[in-house]
Amino acid sequence: MLSREDFLRLSLETNLFFQRIMKEHLFFIETSLQPIETARIAEADRLKKNFEELLEESVDYAQRINLSEEAIHSNEFVTPYTLKAEKRSSRLTGASINTDITKRELALFGTQEYYTERLDLDIRDLNARSLSLLQEVINYQRNILALSLRCEIFITLYADLLSHVTQEAEYYQERLTALQNRRLPRRTLCEELNFWNHVMGDHARFIACMLDPTEVRLREAAENIAERFDILIERCMRTPEREIIGRSLAATERVRNFKRAATEGILACEIISIILPLLADHVLREANHYLRILREY
């Protein structure tokens, strides 16, 4: 059973990270659907804005509840590139992004900690509303994937990527549901590592496939990184815990460095690709988040 302090802190850290991830998934879908899909584009925009509203609330609460030093310094909530990536991606696509949230997060930390019974109820309510919206998002994303696989819509996102974002939403759902019950999800070490190693490997493959064919060196580097994560997943059950954590940490540091360089290159227009700047920053933040998980082990 989690203490009240741990419940508040972990709920807020989870929401600050995943609410932004969820709204960006919806932004990517919104900007990848074709103009004929007006209703589905509008629905993605509505769900995105609803998650932005929840994220604004989380930022408000983060001014009253201390986050862990590890979370604050991980660059998993925002990075030095996030605001520029948001502005560039919004300008390139015409889709809206509430950049004021990012500005507030960049100036957020150094907060004052206090706990009240009312705050406990407020965070439980925030979690409950996040879970309700999350189920809407999961249903929406599953429907988009199903329509795409039946060739009833055309979307410039891979089917595997649509499946990937739904798996992340389900992971968030699992974690938030457990927190509402004052506990952490019951996952074995390999279940947790394999989930995130799969995410990191997927990211590397998506990057490789979205780079221009002329970017031979970068494509090869991304594919090599993906293969390394495949090996980690395949060998997890028969590798000593300390060793698999260490190897996962090394692989994730490598993919983090690759993503950081890619984000800088895309923002500077030095890399030829069909990768939105915000997508590059998005996957960088996920690597930063996983690095924090591994270091906690």
DSSP 156-218: SS-HHHHHHHHHHHHHHHHHHHHHHTTS-----HHHHHHHHHHHHHHHHHHHHHHB-TT-HHH
Same domain, 247 and 220: yes
pLDDT tens digits, 173-197? 999 999 999 999 999 999 999 999 9
pLDDT tens digits, 214-258? 999 999 999 999 999 999 999 999 999 999 999 999 999 999 999
Amino acid at 62: A
Same domain, 30 and 126: yes
Same domain, 241 and 284: yes
Per DSSP, the three-state class of 152 is coil
Residue among 157, 188, 177, 215 nearest 25 (CA):
157
Higher pLDDT, 87 or 108: 87
What is the structure's pLDDT at 114? 56
User: For the chain, what is the domain count?
Assistant: 2
Answer whether residue 150 shows pLDDT above 90: yes
pTM: 0.96
Same domain, 165 and 215: no
Domain that holds residue 256: 187-297
Provide the CATH number for the domain around residue 18: 1.20.1260.120
Same domain, 175 and 250: no
What is the structure's pLDDT at 239? 96
Same domain, 235 and 181: no
* Residue 103 placed within a domain: no
Mark which of 155, 170, 185 sits at the end of a domain: 185
Give the Cα separation of 142 and 130 in Å (integer). Answer: 18
Can you tell me which residue has the tokens 């609460």? Answer: 61
DSSP 94-151: -----HHHHHHHHT--S------HHHHHHHHHHHHHHHHHHHHHHHHHHHHHHHHHTT
What is the structure's pLDDT at 42? 98
Can you tell me which residue has the tokens 């759902």? Answer: 173
Residue 91 has which token pair? 């300008």
Amino acid at 178: A
Same domain, 268 and 154: no
What is the structure's pLDDT at 108? 78
pLDDT tens digits, 88-129? 999 999 999 999 999 999 987 655 555 667 899 999 999 999
* Residue 170 placed within a domain: yes
Confidence band for 65, pLDDT divided at 50, 70 and 90: confident
Residue 233 has which token pair? 């997943």
pLDDT tens digits, 28-61? 999 999 999 999 999 999 999 999 999 999 999 9
Q: What are phi and psi of 223, to 5 degrees?
A: -65, -40
What is the structure's pLDDT at 291? 98
Give the Cα separation of 293 and 196 in Å (integer). Answer: 10
Question: What's the mean pLDDT when you consider all of the chain?
Answer: 96
- Averaged pLDDT, 260-277: 98
What is the structure's pLDDT at 109? 63
Number of neighbours of residue 115 by Cβ within 10 angstroms: 15
Same domain, 137 and 203: no
Give the Cα separation of 170 and 176 in Å (integer). Answer: 10
Give the Cα separation of 278 and 283 in Å (integer). Answer: 9
pLDDT tens digits, 16-27? 999 999 999 999
What is the structure's pLDDT at 107? 87
Give the Cα separation of 26 and 35 in Å (integer). Answer: 16
